[in-house]
Amino acid sequence: MTLLLNNISKVFNNSLCTLNSKEVNKKTVFFAVKGKNTDGHLFVPEAIKKNCKFVVVKRGYKNLGKKKEKKFIRCKSPLKYLENVATYKRNQSKGIFFGITGSFGKTTLKFMLSFLLSKVKKTYSSPKSFNNHFGLPLSLSNLPANSIYNIFELGMNNKGEIHNLSKILQPDIGVITNIGPAHLEKLKNLKNIALCKSEIINNIKKNGTIFLNIDDKYFHLLKKKSKKNKLKILTFGKSNKANFQLIKKIILKNKKYILVKIINKNYKFKVKNFNDSFIMNFLIVISIFSYLKINKKILIKYINKFPTPSGRGSFVKKIINNQEVKILDESYNANPISMKNAVMNFSLLKINKKKVAILGDMLELGKMTKKFHKNLARELNGSNIDTIHCVGKKIKDTFSHLNLRKKGQYFKDINQLKKNKKNIFKNNSIYLLKSSNSVGLNQFLKEC
């Protein structure tokens, strides 16, 4: 990596890094990283044609002529090279770094925290759901030199992945939102998931801080590990033992509020959204603002201006069959807990329209797949949702256990739903869409 060490400030301080040849321009450095489905080296000619600043390729890659040779940076591994750029950028920064992980809610929390902290000082966060071994180093590599608050999410599918990501990030402040039944197919049980999420604790900087969910089943496991690593531990949740406690939700004169205890004092915040996931994420933000000693007036002024990310609980309007249809868009992803919360929140919605849910498979649940889908039917049968349509092979277990009066239509895949959408969507109804992302409901909604 001699070339990197000698030229990193010159090459990368005024450049943008990308793995996508479509994003290339004269200011970008294109990394020819090999992914699961394709190899970035196939797109080097396109990057050169678009006059990229440099291309980072594997040693031995055939160049495109002597005139273009000066654009090539050769190394053993373009991905490892990207990680080194990320580490350099991280070490150069004097800002505060947040690392967010958990089974669900982390992307929305990242964007909510970033949105609100940006009202205080310059803030940067990883785009979209850039939380894996490609996305995190890429995001860090594009870190602005003068950002004060830097917020990243850490995702995983297997043991060791959170460790590797947090080792690069070296967060000053860590957040573990929750431990839930995601990735059970590979990790087998919730304790293994908790242990994987806890890997972030090992890499929080010395004398750093961790925010933990006191209501979580594995709170004591996480607390014990945090103590061992000599971190400052702050807790959030509904328990009266939490440092930051959600006391209750309140409706006064048709306005929604939450009552929160911060250390030993109560505060009331007006909110537009009573969704449990939204409220818990906001509680974490309140906790962080309090810890950083930032004036709470910022939260009061801006929380209800926060734009919920697409597919994560926002209401959208679509024109389908020449009719305007209102949809609660939860289509980005799903696991048993987030699905249960979505069903409950949709059920509690007060509206003079028929409620219709279109639900798809919850994936990566391993041996628990059948049980979780069957249990979902119980939640749906106890709700006031009028009609439920199901899409996918796994959720057939949900559909078969629905009460007859709630049963809509069953579609084996998204293509069947597309063919029947004229019969499904009516403007006298309001809709909930939720499933794991690969089912295709998210893309289906974008195309509507």
> Which CATH number characterizes residue 384's domain?
3.90.190.20
| Rounded alpha-carbon distances, angstroms, from residue 61 to 54, 81, 383 | 14, 15, 59
| Rounded alpha-carbon distances, angstroms, from residue 79 to 34, 134, 138, 341 | 8, 8, 9, 38
| Rounded alpha-carbon distances, angstroms, from residue 216 to 147, 178, 228, 232, 348 | 33, 6, 19, 18, 24
Per-residue tokens: 27: 């200011």
Q: How far apart are CA 413 and CA 390, in angstroms?
A: 9
Is 36 a residue whose pLDDT tops 90? no
The SS3 assignment for 325 reads: strand
Residue 209 counted as domain residue = yes
Residues 97, 47, single domain; the answer is: no
Residues 319, 370, single domain; the answer is: yes
What global pTM score does this model have? 0.91
**Residue 246's beta-bridge partner residues?**
260
CB atoms within 10 A of CB 382: 12
Residues 71, 200, single domain; the answer is: no
How confident is the model over 159-195, as pLDDT tens digits? 999 999 999 999 999 999 999 998 888 898 999 999 9
Residues 235, 289, single domain; the answer is: yes
| Rounded alpha-carbon distances, angstroms, from residue 341 to 93, 148, 412 | 38, 34, 24
Is 4 a residue whose pLDDT tops 60? no
Identify the CA nearest to 71 among candidates 30, 15, 38. 30
* Mean predicted lDDT score pLDDT of the chain: 93
How confident is the model over 185-214, as pLDDT tens digits? 889 899 999 999 999 999 999 999 999 999
> Which amino acid belongs to residue 382?
G
Q: What is the pLDDT of residue 62?
A: 77
> Region 269-289: what's the mean pLDDT?
94
Residues 21, 161, single domain; the answer is: no
Give the domain-ending residue among 278, 305, 332. Answer: 305
CATH number at residue 206: 3.40.1190.10
**Residue 152's beta-bridge partner residues?**
99
Q: Name the phi and psi angles at 255, rounded to 5.
A: -110, 145
Is 399 a residue whose pLDDT tops 70? yes
Identify the CA nearest to 100 among candidates 143, 152, 137. 152
Q: How far apart are CA 82 and CA 411, in angstroms?
A: 43
33 Cβ neighbours under 8 A, 6+ residues apart: 19, 40, 78, 79, 82, 134
**For residue 267, what are the domain limits?**
93-305
Residues 245, 393, single domain; the answer is: no
> Which amino acid belongs to residue 116?
L
Number of domains forming the structure of the chain: 3
Per-residue tokens: 301: 């002024």
Q: Where are the beta strands (DSSP E) in 44-95?
A: 54-58, 72-75
Residue 176 counted as domain residue = yes
Identify the CA nearest to 119 among candidates 360, 260, 298. 298
How confident is the model over 215-235, as pLDDT tens digits? 999 999 999 999 999 999 999
How many whole angstroms from its chain centre is CA 385?
27
Q: What is the pLDDT of residue 2?
A: 40
The SS3 assignment for 63 reads: coil
Residue 83 counted as domain residue = no
Q: What is the pLDDT of residue 348?
A: 86
Is 303 a residue whose pLDDT tops 50? yes
Q: Is 160 left (phi over 0), alpha (psi -120 to 50) or beta?
A: left
How confident is the model over 332-377, as pLDDT tens digits? 889 999 999 999 989 988 889 999 999 999 999 999 999 999 999 9
Identify the CA nearest to 147 among candidates 172, 114, 175, 108. 114
What is the band of 3 on the pLDDT scale with cuts at 50, 70, 90? very low
